[in-house]
Amino acid sequence: MLNTARALVFLLTLCIGVGVGWALAQGKAGPQPPAPRNLVELERDQALYGELRGLLLEPETLTRVALLSAELSKMGPEDLDSVAAVLESNALGLGQVEAALLVRFWVTYDPEGAAGWATSSRVQVPVRLTVLCALVETWASFDPEAPIPIVDKYLVYPSDLVPPAVLSAFVRGWYASGQPGVLEYLRALEPSKSRSRGLTTYARASLGDVGFDGTAQILLDYPREDYRFRSQLWRYAAPEMLREDREKALAFCSAYCDRFEGAFVRVRLSREWMNEPDVVPLEVMEWLSAAPAGQERDFAVQQALEIWSIDDRESLADWGLELVQAPVEPWLYPGLAIVAAAVAYEDPYQAIELVQQVKPESARNQALARIGTFFIRNDPEEAEVWLTTAGLPSSVVARIRQDSVESPASVEMPVEVPAKPAPSSVGVRPGLRAIRPNSS
């Protein structure tokens, strides 16, 4: 009888000791859920911990993530200790996606505990930003105001990457909660790259939720009295709307871009359009040519042509060669120097001919200097003949000589500069044609 009593006391002491040791180990990680109450629960947690670590060793990424997601979907708050232990141990195979899944589970049942770990230095650097974004997005999805202190803290973090990423995740979560106030929160922030990203994220969330028409109505319904923020909201929503439905986005701009809040929306739309993989650049040019004359259209034309020049200079040069013998319409004047610069790679003399149509004279001289600098770097002898016989203003000649000396030599192979053709020998090419990027 005495031996039986002693055995029971020993077993009870062992259970208490193991439980206290586990609690102390977890206490080092900040606020945690209560420690397991008995040996059965401890053994279960240890088994689950081992199972989770085993899943992370699956070598195939998609399979690993699928297995982990399936396991987490079957778990509940009683399994928090195992999840926290996997994160704390920086288990092998714990990448950004895996860490985000585990943190989302943790914050669902214990947001304060998850926040204590996710914002600490114990998080490994490779997954730190991913973990932080998973924390604020998931938390905001059921309690939008709770993570605001954390978000505000990281908005002033000295990084170009962290503040926009954290705010974007926060906006996604807040929008998903269905609770009002996210636009009011963004409005209260100082204008910054982070707020711009937040507005873009809001537009994307809205398009996914209520579609193009619903998002357009939100833009139109936002109070006009708050015209500055209304304008910024429009400006950052426009590219996302174009991705969703180009035809509707262009029609929306045609109807409303001439309002105050539509300022520079046309610029952002044309820039986004030029960056689309299936863009036909001349369709963008045609759309811009119909826009009201003014600074915004001039800037939009320049931006679109710069993108075209970077993405497919050859097709821009082809179009420019077609323009040499045809009068250029005024809407293209602001970007004609960009077109001429592309033509210069194919035929500097034709580029010089085209640039004669640039207006005003100051812009024309600037374009001549740009082309002349390219010319003299790639064919110094021929360019020297041109400089001494073309009757250029002395200021332009001086600038070309200075730029060709100060700028590094062209890294491109020298082009073969054809002899300057007589005016009558230059045939008029066919009319303007739609040129796709990388066309031959």
Q: Which residue has the higher pLDDT, 7 or 232?
A: 232
**Residue 29 buriedness (CB in 10 A; 0-12 / 13-18 / 19+):** middle
**pLDDT (tens digit, 9 = 90+) per residue, 3-44?**
444 333 333 343 434 343 433 344 434 444 545 455 556 677
Query: Residue 316 CB: number of other CB atoms within 10 A?
Result: 25
DSSP character at residue 141? T
Measure Cα distances from 158 to 170, 273, 392 in Å: 18, 33, 50
Q: Say if residue 192's pLDDT is above 70.
A: yes
Measure Cα distances from 421 to 322, 365, 416, 417 in Å: 16, 22, 14, 11
Q: What is the largest CA-CA distance in the chain?
A: 123
Angle 96-109/125-140 helices, nearest 10 degrees? Answer: 40
Cα distance between residue 151 and residue 162, in whole Å: 10
Domain ranges of the chain: 28-140, 172-263, 264-440
Q: Say if residue 424's pLDDT is above 70.
A: no
| Mean pLDDT value across the chain | 84
CA 438 to chain centre: 24
CA-wise closest residue to 289 among 338, 330, 241, 325: 330
Cα distance between residue 189 and residue 149, in whole Å: 13
What pLDDT sits at residue 399? 87
* Percent of the chain whose predicted confidence (pLDDT) is above 90: 60
What pLDDT sits at residue 407? 56
**Which residues have C-beta within 8 Å of that of residue 64, sequence separation ≥ 6?**
55, 56, 58, 93, 98
What pLDDT sits at residue 46? 86
**pLDDT (tens digit, 9 = 90+) per residue, 173-182?**
999 999 999 9
Q: Grade residue 217 by pLDDT with cuts at 50, 70 and 90.
A: very high
**Could you tell me the pTM of the whole model?**
0.77
What pLDDT sits at residue 345? 86
Q: Say if residue 422's pLDDT is above 80.
A: no
**pLDDT (tens digit, 9 = 90+) per residue, 236-268?**
999 999 999 999 999 999 999 988 888 899 999
Cα distance between residue 303 and residue 19, in whole Å: 66
Q: Grade residue 220 by pLDDT with cuts at 50, 70 and 90.
A: very high
**pLDDT (tens digit, 9 = 90+) per residue, 300-338?**
999 999 999 999 999 999 999 999 888 889 999 899 989
Q: Which residue has the higher pLDDT, 148 or 31?
A: 148
Specify which of 37-51, 326-340, 403-417 reaches the highest per-range mean pLDDT.
326-340
